[in-house]
């Protein structure tokens, strides 16, 4: 499965995710306004912008958690309709949440097993009858889940209850659970939030290893150093609109971006 194995190469000329004209309004708030972007396969693509810019809404829309008012969506060149979370997961997009969403009272290992079930083959009736195929698959799932915990550095925590993990470890567990669905596109919503400097270094290294598996990564992150160090390209949102797109170097010296976001981010970094 996903660990060690590599995602099948896709046509480098076809975007992993391509969206056009994505809009979403909540009451009086235009959370997304005609947003379009293309993410190259195998790349790390950053999505940045001030709070309330629409970044999380963009994740919610592409993963089927929130229905867009309009928009065109393509995954690896194929049209898809992000209308249901499980269908999007099967199509190959997985995500983590800004506000961690784990099964807090379940074990660390079981949290990953749940993610793995998106890819299981045996039917519910086999589970009910506990057929041999079902048992074989269950033990394969447990093995795969353990390998994924090892991959994110949590193997020694497998039997703890998820809620007892440190904040940084809970974020890594969410990544393991997302990887269990074998995504082609992994969308991470502020994965470094609440992490200390050492954890951030480990996170960066983990994201590099996920990319090395051939996966494509979409990253929302406020840590400018992390974003600029990791990303091949960066898209900047402000008040639901795309205000810039380019390489980290291009985006960093874009006047509109500095005014809307980087200026205040830099101030925040230097604040006492
Ligand atoms: N489910 C929702 N219901 C109502 N308003 C929402 C909802 N989700 C997001 N919003 C609003 O949409 C805007 C964009 O929010 P969000 O996508 O969370 O921004 P970001 O992740 O960039 O901080 C904000 O004004 C937010 O209050
Ligand atoms: Mg957000």
Pairing of strands 93-95, 185-189: parallel
User: Percent of the chain having pLDDT more than 90?
Assistant: 75
Q: What is the mean pLDDT of the chain?
A: 90
For residue 63, the CA-to-ligand 2 centroid distance in Å is: 14
Residue 1, pLDDT > 50, answer no
What count of other Cβ atoms lies within 10 Å of the Cβ of residue 159?
9
What count of other Cβ atoms lies within 10 Å of the Cβ of residue 192?
21
Alpha carbons within 13 A on the beta-carbon side of 247: 2
5, two tokens: 């194995």
State how far the Cα of 256 lies from the Cα of 253, in Å rounded to an integer: 9
The domain locations on the chain are 17-270
Ligand at minimal distance from the CA of 31 is 1
User: Percent of the chain having pLDDT more than 70?
Assistant: 90
Confidence of residue 138 (pLDDT cuts 50, 70, 90): confident
Pairing of strands 44-48, 233-238: parallel
For residue 216, the CA-to-ligand 2 centroid distance in Å is: 20
pLDDT per residue over 23-38, tens digit each? 999 999 999 999 999 9
* Residues 161-172, mean pLDDT to the nearest whole number: 95
Q: Could you tell which of 27, 31, 97, 237 is best to mutate to test the pocket of ligand 1, judged by most ligand atoms within 8 Å of the CB? A: 31
pLDDT per residue over 51-77, tens digit each? 999 999 999 999 999 999 999 999 999
pLDDT at site 123? 65
pLDDT per residue over 79-108, tens digit each? 999 998 889 999 999 999 999 899 999 999
Contact (CB, 8 A) for 70 and 31: no
What count of other Cβ atoms lies within 10 Å of the Cβ of residue 103?
14
Q: Under CATH, which number does the domain 17-270 receive?
A: 3.40.50.300
pLDDT at site 159? 96
201 ligand 1 Cβ < 6 A: no
What count of other Cβ atoms lies within 10 Å of the Cβ of residue 263?
12
Nearest CA to ligand 1 atom 1: 26
């Amino acid at each position: 499965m996903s660990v060690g194995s590599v995602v099948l190469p896709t046509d480098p000329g076809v975007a992993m995710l391509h969206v056009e004209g994505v809009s979403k309004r909540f009451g009086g708030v235009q959370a997304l306004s005609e947003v379009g972007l293309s993410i190259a396969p195998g790349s790390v693509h950053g999505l940045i912008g001030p709070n309330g810019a629409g970044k999380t809404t963009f994740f919610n829309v592409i993963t089927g958690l929130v229905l867009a008012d309009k928009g065109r969506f393509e995954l690896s060149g194929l049209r898809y309709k992000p209308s249901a979370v499980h269908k999007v997961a099967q199509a190959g997009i997985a995500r983590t949440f800004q506000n961690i969403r784990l099964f807090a009272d379940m074990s660390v290992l079981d949290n990953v097993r749940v993610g793995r079930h998106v890819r299981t083959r045996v039917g519910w009736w086999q589970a009910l009858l506990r057929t041999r195929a079902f048992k074989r698959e269950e033990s394969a799932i447990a093995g795969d889940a353990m390998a994924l915990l090892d991959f994110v550095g949590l193997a020694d925590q497998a039997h703890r209850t998820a809620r007892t993990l440190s904040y940084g470890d809970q974020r890594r567990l969410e990544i393991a659970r997302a990887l269990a669905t074998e995504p082609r596109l992994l969308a991470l919503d502020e994965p470094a939030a609440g992490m200390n400097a050492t954890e951030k270094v480990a996170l960066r290294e983990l994201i590099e290893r996920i990319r090395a598996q051939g996966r494509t990564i979409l990253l929302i992150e406020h840590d400018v150093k992390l974003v600029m160090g990791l990303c091949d390209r960066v898209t900047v949102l402000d008040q639901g609109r795309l205000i810039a797109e380019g390489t980290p170097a291009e985006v960093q010296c874009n006047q509109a971006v500095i005014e809307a976001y980087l200026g205040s981010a830099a101030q925040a970094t230097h604040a006492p």
